[in-house]
Amino acid sequence: MATKTPGGKVFVLQLLSVLFTLSAIIFVFLVTNQTNYQHISETIARSNVPYPEHWWTPENWYKAVLELPLASEQDRRSIRSAVTHMKAWRWILVPIFLLDILTFAITNFEMIRQRRLPGRRVQFVEK
């Protein structure tokens, strides 16, 4: 009787996980760096019309808002806290990516080790 192993499915899922996390890191850092150093014009902001559309990330928008004179120090602290959380979220992707690579490597080494065990014959069935 032929047995099927889930090794191929695990490989594909973990590879997709690594690639997804890597693409998220690249996208987030690239877009954040492309939109750095933008500033909000006080005259446009005071005109009581919606701010013209530009390409902003929430983190960079909040940083630009911090450059404006705000009504209260509580608002400034709240915005500064939000910026800190956004930066932390961006950097937390790096350990997640490293963990993805580690789990991908461990499970693939284990899969290869199990396939090489003496006396173990696995037959694959094609559909």
Look at residue 4 and tell me whether its pLDDT is greater than 60: no
Structural domain count of the chain: 1
Residue 107 lies in a domain: yes
For residue range 58-102, list pLDDT tens digits in order: 899 899 889 888 889 999 999 999 999 999 999 999 999 999 999
Residue 2 lies in a domain: no
Tell which residue, 118, 110, 86, 114, has the closest CA to residue 14: 110
Residue 108 lies in a domain: yes
Which percentage of the chain shows pLDDT scores above 90? 43
**How confident is the model at residue 100, as a pLDDT?**
96
Residue 24 lies in a domain: yes
Residue 15 lies in a domain: yes
Task: Kindly give, in sequence order, each residue whose CB lies less than 8 Å from that of residue 21, ignoring residues fewer than 6 positions away.
Answer: 93, 96, 97, 100
User: Between residues 4 and 105, which one has the greater pLDDT?
Assistant: 105
Residue 125 lies in a domain: no
Residue 88 belongs to domain spanning: 7-38+54-115
